[in-house]
Amino acid sequence: MDPPRSVARDVLRAVRERDAYANLVLPALLRERGLSGRDAALATELAYGACRTLGLLDAVIAEGAGRPIEEIDGPLLDVLRLGVYQLLRTRIGAHAAVDTSVALARAEFGTGKAGFVNAVLRRAGEKTTEQWVEALAPADPVGRLAFEYAHPVWIAQAFADALGARAGELGDVLAADDARPLVHLVARPGDITAEELALVTGGEEGRWSPYAVYLDGGDPGKLEPVREGMAAVQDEGSQLVALALTRAALDGPDDGRWLDLCAGPGGKAALLGALAAIDGFRVDAVEPAAHRAELVRKAVHDLPVDVHVADGRASGLNPGYDRILVDAPCTGLGALRRRPEARWRRTPADVRELVVLQRELLTAAWDLLRPGGVVLYSTCSPHLPETVSIVADAVRRLGAEQLDARELLPGVTDVGDGPGAQLWPHRHGTDAMFLAALRKPR
């Protein structure tokens, strides 16, 4: 058996059968089977890549098999997806891609089904990726780009809507979403600088956050600064959201009562806690799920952060906070590049439920905010119903004063026309984070 391809196949199977998360399953399998170096890199590329490009792969498989994918046995479909991904999206030779896939099928299912895999893959290899796109993609521009870059059409349309007058960048957004992202580290303020972290890890200092470092690959968990809690994995866009909260102008003094109302799994709470510690401030962090609250505790274990297991809509906390972060649960459309299977799980129906929750959390935060204080609302999604619509509703209902969030991102260019700010992977190299700052009138 081919160990890297066996691991990738098993990741696809776990995602399909158990709705597992590839980025959780894969590291465990690599450790369990002792894969490292080039073998681990190949398994990672095949597993994540096939998860990302599922829509394109399934269309080609259906064409090659002459039947809908629903009529193909699931375990066989995993092998086919793995083979077609190698044929269309990697530099692996066609002979190797077909032979290794046929071997996987033969070992598990016998000669008959191995012959079926062989036939489908040879059909798939008769055309290049570009030729398959030409043959199978919808005619409309958004649908064609969605197919080419392996996104559901509704997500591509949501990105186009958010880009507005610059919807011509849709292909660039989808391409950035479809590429392997860099690993972003955050240097904990007060413990290590980004310059020091870059030197220790061999990384590169970030463009936008003073605490960001970029890594091209490898396992960040093996890095000494990460093991010792001086650094952590955190997208640079998330760092900018936490920093923006601390930079917003209050009406009146900052008495150092800060709140992260949607804290799990704890990355932003940890950065806020490190910044609060410098000034002798404290942070409350709220997370309703006990297991995620435990993740927050681990992330902030030596920082001035108090973790509360509670629903942010009814936290029971005393009002009077100076600064509140509402990093609301969302569709996560802005972080699809880091969650390879997520794009195929989300549906438009998810948005309706989340919008209600987002509105309720923002209202609860408003009630906990002191007059003159600031709520920073953010989502890792650019989808308009989750971003500008939620904020416009809050301004109307609550009488909030919306600040210009672009001013809270000094040096960061091209974040929109204001007053909210939108980060994009193709412009900034970050997740597509949205943020808006609302101040409570005195």
- pLDDT tens readout for residues 410-435: 999 999 999 999 999 999 999 999 99
266 is in an annotated binding site: yes
268 is in an annotated binding site: yes
330 is in an annotated binding site: no
Reported as a single tens digit per residue, the pLDDT across 275-293 is 999 999 999 999 999 999 9
Task: State the pLDDT at residue 219.
Answer: 82
What is the phi-psi region of residue 188: left when phi exceeds 0, alpha when psi lies from -120 to 50, beta otherwise?
beta
> How many CB atoms within 10 Å of residue 330?
25
Reported as a single tens digit per residue, the pLDDT across 334-343 is 999 999 899 9
327 is in an annotated binding site: yes
Is 365 a residue whose pLDDT tops 90? yes
Mean pLDDT of the 264-274 span: 97
* Average pLDDT value over all residues in the chain: 96
Distance CA 188, CA 223 (A): 14
- Let me know the angle formed at the C-alpha of 30 by 345 and 239, rounded to the nearest 5 degrees: 60
311 is in an annotated binding site: yes
Is 221 a residue whose pLDDT tops 90? no
Q: Do strands 401-403 and 369-379 pair parallel, antiparallel, or not at all (unpaired)?
A: unpaired
Tokens of 103: 């071997």
Contacts of 9 (CB under 8 A, 6+ apart): 78, 79, 82, 104
Tokens of 280: 């002798």
What is the phi-psi region of residue 74: left when phi exceeds 0, alpha when psi lies from -120 to 50, beta otherwise?
alpha
Task: State the pLDDT at residue 248.
Answer: 98
Number of H helices, E strands in the chain: 19, 12
Distance CA 439, CA 205 (A): 32
Mean pLDDT of the 357-372 span: 98
pTM: 0.94
267 is in an annotated binding site: yes
Task: State the pLDDT at residue 29.
Answer: 96
58 is in an annotated binding site: no
Catalytic residue selected from 160, 380, 432, 438: 380
Q: Name residue, tokens 């994918």.
A: 69
Q: Label residue 360 exposed, middle or buried (CB < 10 Å: 0-12, 13-18, 19+).
A: middle
262 is in an annotated binding site: yes
417: three-class secondary structure by DSSP = coil
Mean pLDDT of the 383-409 span: 98
- Let me know the angle formed at the C-alpha of 345 by 343 and 350, rounded to the nearest 5 degrees: 100
Distance CA 177, CA 46 (A): 16
List beta partners, residue 438: 375, 402
Is 133 a residue whose pLDDT tops 80? yes
Query: Which of 368, 370, 360, 363 has the alpha carbon at shortest distance from 441?
Result: 370
Task: State the pLDDT at residue 217.
Answer: 78
Residue 432 · residue 335 · CB < 8 Å: yes
Tokens of 71: 């009529």
Query: Which of 41, 47, 54 has the alpha carbon at shortest distance from 22?
Result: 47
175: three-class secondary structure by DSSP = helix
Residue 149 · residue 174 · CB < 8 Å: yes
Residue 272 · residue 260 · CB < 8 Å: yes
List beta partners, residue 232: 186
Catalytic residue list contains 330: no
